[in-house]
Amino acid sequence: MLSFKITLIPAILLYCGSVLYAGTTPVWTYMIVAAFPHDQEAFTQGLLYHDGCIYESTGQRGHSSVRKLDIKTGAILQKYELEDQYFGEGLTYFGDRLIQLTWQSFTGFVYDPVSLYPLEQFYYNTEGWGLTDDSTQLIMSDGTAQLYFLEPSTFAVVRTLTVTDDGKPVRFLNELEYINGEIFANILSQNRIACIDPHTGVIRRWIDLTGISAALPPGYAIDVLNGIAYDPGRDRLFVTGKLWPRIFEIRLISAAGH
């Protein structure tokens, strides 16, 4: 069990430059509110908050899992390990089920959220990357500029949506989270999150998280930013990355600076 304490971070605003964002889409920044311990060996592929706990899907073949975490301590409360041929990916909590994708196996899994016992498998015809839901449909990414809306009982594709910014497709959509009418998406290997209109696919705003990894303790071989979770009851937004020893709670700062 991890024994770290919650770390409160001074309210230092980290602003983005203008070089990466030459378009007209507003760019928001952030403030770190708090930092929570996180298993530094977790290759985070999916993250969500539900009923006081963090649920996480981890990747890499032979190390993939779905797990339930204590947000305050980082302790792993429950864990189910996937068979070695699977590479865990996106995760969502829909109804009374946990639903997890895998990367290149065209296979997803449904779990009992209490026991993490697998209940069923389902299949899809593309790669599995990110997964979230809007309370009526599942929303899936596959690393392209497409989002797939799935019927949650049959997993059939209901519609697809191309994500664009200034009229151009935005590829490498990764981990997803549906927050207050927007789809938040990590962009693979970039320190930014796209906030997407679920009806048009247009990116309404960018969240630039440049510099956030500098708040991690030194000495860890971290990978890219990946992982978005939201606590609607307390309006808390969490982010982390692959092999990151912390989960950060952040507050968003609008393009107008407040």
The three-state DSSP-derived secondary structure of the chain is CCCCCCEECCCCEECCCCCCCCCCCCEEEEEEEEEEECCCCCCEEEEEEECCEEEEEECCCCCCEEEEEECCCCCEEEEEECCCCCCEEEEEEECCEEEEEECCCCEEEEECCCCCCEEEEEECCCCCCCEEECCCCEEEECCCCEEEEECCCCCCEEEEEECEECCEECCCEEEEEEECCEEEEEECCCCEEEEECCCCCEEEEEEECCCHHHHCCCCCCCCCEEEEEEECCCCEEEEEECCCCEEEEEEEECCCCC
Q: Would residue 21 count as lying in a domain?
A: no
Residue 2: inside a domain: no
pLDDT in tens, 113-125: 999 999 999 999 9
pLDDT (mean) for 146-167: 96
Task: Confirm whether 46 is domain-assigned.
Answer: yes
pLDDT reported for residue 258:
55
Checking if the pLDDT of 184 tops 50, the result is yes
Q: Supply 220's token pair.
A: 């860890």
Assigned domain for 74 exists: yes
Q: What is the mean pLDDT of the chain?
A: 89
Of 7 and 222, the structure prediction assigns the larger pLDDT to 222
Residue 19 included in any domain:
no
User: Above 60 in pLDDT, residue 189?
Assistant: yes
pLDDT > 70 fraction of the chain, expressed in percent and rounded: 90
CATH code of the domain covering residue 76: 2.120.10.30
pLDDT-derived band at 137, boundaries 50, 70, 90:
very high
Contact 217, 226 (CB under 8 A): no
Q: Is it the case that residue 212 has pLDDT exceeding 50? A: yes
pLDDT greater than 50 at residue 18 = no
pLDDT at 249 over 70: yes
Find the domain containing 232 and state its range: 7-14+27-253
The pLDDT of residue 257 is 62
pLDDT score for 13: 36
Domain count within the chain: 1
Asked if residue 136 is part of any domain, the answer here is yes
Residue-wise pLDDT tens digits, 87-111: 999 999 999 999 999 999 999 999 9
Query: Is residue 1 situated within a structural domain?
Result: no
